């Protein structure tokens, strides 16, 4: 599992530019899928099984990134964000820019050193003021290196284990490459009898971080009876976050989402939450429930697609979301895999499938 997540996490895959991560996922699912296609937007749709009822199991594969907007005469590069960055996080990072030839160029998000700051100089950081330095001597040299507006940029980060634990991992794009790893592992370990009972669509969606877009089109096309959406969920177990804001803890079990964004996102039918919880109790998989105050995921779109798709949001509690040092637990990731298999085996969709 660690090696799969390491490969997924370190792969380049900004929203709308998922070609490299798509290739890596296709390679990893090739021997488990009966039929695979890539749709217009770039979602991977892998079909398994031949049952009457259709189930979609989904995770988004894109990562938050930046896009080159402007290059000044001195050769410094200004960017816009693709997805929800906190600009304070970007300052001082090493980044990778990809030009149209597919070449990777290292840059740094520059910052005025403390030595040169005025005493009362504002420390407020705005994305529009941040610049990337790629070491070029002027704009002409940037152009010679084939960097242009529209090129995409990600943080240069590798996956590591945290501290001396063999459970916690840290790196970029755990949101949502750990979700992708869960979906891949579910595909690998899917029991044969479930394949006769259901037709599964394992979907790796694009452009979630910029408006839940890949789920919208793939959910519409597949028109399934039931959907499971796997994504990270903001953990509240670090200093500065009150339990009343988030009770989620890393390493304490798979997350079952009740609502997202105080109901402006997903609202799971209470009977579906209760059934999922009773299955978790029965099979003794540690779980946590989430009444989310902020942030939505693809589940929020899937459940209102077409005439509505009963959707269960499965989460993995993650610290420092949307930073290059996201932290998650391998144990939780395993629980997520097992929970999905058990939910299916225990007929989570019965009484909840859409009445066709
Ligand atoms: Zn996500």
Give tens-digit pLDDT for 22-34: 999 999 999 999 9
Residue with tokens 């520059």: 110
pLDDT at 112 over 80: no
Query: Rounded to an integer, what is the distance from CA 281 to the centroid of its chain?
Result: 27
Residue 336: predicted pLDDT: 98
The pLDDT of 179-204, averaged and rounded, is 97
Residues with CB under 5 A from ligand 1 (ion): 175-176, 231
Which entry of 208, 209, 257, 353 is annotated as an active-site residue? 208
Strands 311-318 and 94-98: unpaired
Confidence band, pLDDT 50/70/90 cuts, at residue 116: confident
Q: What is the pLDDT of residues 162-175, one digit of tens each?
A: 999 999 999 999 99
Q: What is the pLDDT of residues 229-267, one digit of tens each?
A: 999 999 999 999 998 888 999 999 999 999 999 999 999
Q: How far is the CA of 74 from the centre of ligand 1 (A)?
A: 36
Confidence band, pLDDT 50/70/90 cuts, at residue 226: very high
Residue 334: predicted pLDDT: 98
CA distances from 68 to 147, 192, 317 (A): 8, 47, 31
124 is catalytic: no
Helix, strand or coil for residue 73?
Answer: coil
pLDDT at 202 over 60: yes
Q: How far is the CA of 176 from the centre of ligand 1 (A)?
A: 5
The pLDDT of 276-303, averaged and rounded, is 95
Question: What span, in angstroms and rounded, lies between the C-alpha atoms of 187 and 25?
Answer: 12
Residue 355: predicted pLDDT: 66
Angle at 191 between CA 1 and CA 344, to 5 degrees: 90
Which string of DSSP letters, residue by residue, matches 4-38? Answer: HHHHHHHS--BTT--HHHHHHHHHHHTTT-SEEEE
Residue 351: predicted pLDDT: 84
Helix, strand or coil for residue 296?
Answer: coil
pLDDT at 356 over 70: no
Structural domains for the chain: 2-63+172-350 (3.40.630.10), 65-155 (2.40.30.40)
Q: How far is the CA of 312 from the centre of ligand 1 (A)?
A: 15
Read off the pTM: 0.96
Helix, strand or coil for residue 102?
Answer: coil
pLDDT at 354 over 90: no
Q: How far is the CA of 325 from the centre of ligand 1 (A)?
A: 15
Q: What is the mean pLDDT of the chain?
A: 95
Percent of the chain whose pLDDT exceeds 70: 99
CB atoms within 10 A of CB 175: 28
Question: Out of 3-7, 76-80, 84-88, 206-210, which region has the weakest mean confidence (pLDDT)?
Answer: 84-88
Q: How far is the CA of 174 from the centre of ligand 1 (A)?
A: 8
Question: What span, in angstroms and rounded, lies between the C-alpha atoms of 257 and 233?
Answer: 9
pLDDT at 107 over 80: yes
Strands in 206-264 per DSSP E:
226-234, 254-259
Q: What is the pLDDT of residues 126-138, one digit of tens each?
A: 888 899 999 999 9
Q: How far is the CA of 122 from the centre of ligand 1 (A)?
A: 32
Residue 120: predicted pLDDT: 72
Percent of the chain whose pLDDT exceeds 90: 90
Q: What is the pLDDT of residues 290-349, one digit of tens each?
A: 999 988 999 999 999 999 999 999 999 999 999 999 999 999 999 999 999 999 999 999
pLDDT at 118 over 90: no
Question: What span, in angstroms and rounded, lies between the C-alpha atoms of 352 and 228?
Answer: 12
Which tokens hold the place of 179?
């979700």
Which tokens hold the place of 32?
């488990």
**Closest to 49 (Cα-Cα) out of 185, 197, 189, 182:** 197
Pair 308, 302: CB distance under 8 Å:
no
pLDDT at 111 over 80: no
Residue 117: predicted pLDDT: 77
Which string of DSSP letters, residue by residue, matches 261-288? Answer: GGGTS-B--HHHHHHHHHHHHHHT--EE
Question: What span, in angstroms and rounded, lies between the C-alpha atoms of 141 and 328?
Answer: 40
Q: How far is the CA of 308 from the centre of ligand 1 (A)?
A: 21
The neighbouring-strand residues paired with 95 are: 107, 155
pLDDT at 20 over 70: yes
**Closest to 129 (Cα-Cα) out of 160, 100, 91, 163:** 91
pLDDT at 36 over 90: yes
């Amino acid at each position: 599992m660690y090696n799969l997540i390491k490969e997924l996490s370190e792969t380049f895959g900004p929203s709308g530019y998922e070609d490299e991560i798509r290739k890596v996922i296709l390679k990893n699912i090739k021997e488990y899928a009966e039929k695979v296609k890539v749709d217009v937007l770039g979602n991977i749709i892998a079909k398994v099984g031949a049952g009457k009822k259709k189930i979609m199991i989904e995770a988004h594969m894109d990562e938050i990134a930046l896009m080159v907007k402007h290059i000044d005469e001195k050769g410094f590069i200004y960017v816009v964000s693709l997805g929800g960055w906190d600009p304070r996080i970007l300052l001082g990072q090493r980044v990778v820019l990809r030009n149209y030839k597919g070449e990777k160029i290292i840059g740094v998000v520059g910052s005025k050193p403390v030595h040169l700051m005025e005493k009362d100089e504002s420390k407020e950081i705005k994305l529009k003021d941040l610049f990337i330095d790629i070491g070029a001597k002027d704009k002409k040299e940037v152009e010679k290196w084939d960097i242009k507006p529209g090129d995409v940029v990600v943080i240069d980060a590798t996956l590591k284990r945290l501290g001396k634990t063999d459970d916690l991992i840290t790196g970029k794009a755990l949101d949502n490459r750990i979700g992708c790893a869960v979906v891949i592992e579910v595909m690998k370990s899917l029991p044969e009898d479930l394949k006769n009972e259901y037709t599964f669509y394992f979907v790796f969606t694009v452009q979630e971080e910029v408006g839940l877009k890949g789920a919208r089109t793939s959910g519409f096309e597949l028109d399934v009876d039931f959907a499971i959406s796997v994504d990270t969920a903001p953990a509240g177990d670090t200093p500065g976050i009150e339990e009343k804001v988030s009770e989620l803890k890393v390493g304490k079990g798979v997350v079952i989402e009740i609502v997202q964004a105080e109901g402006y996102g997903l609202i799971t039918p209470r009977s579906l939450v209760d059934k999922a919880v009773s299955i978790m109790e029965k099979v003794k998989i540690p779980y946590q429930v989430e009444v989310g105050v902020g942030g939505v995921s693809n589940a929020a779109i899937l459940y209102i697609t077409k005439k509505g798709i009963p959707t269960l949001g499965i989460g993995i509690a993650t610290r420092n979301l949307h930073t290059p040092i996201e932290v998650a637990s391998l144990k939780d990731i395993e629980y997520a895999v097992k929970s999905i298999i058990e939910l299916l085996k225990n007929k989570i969709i019965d009484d909840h499938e859409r009445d066709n």
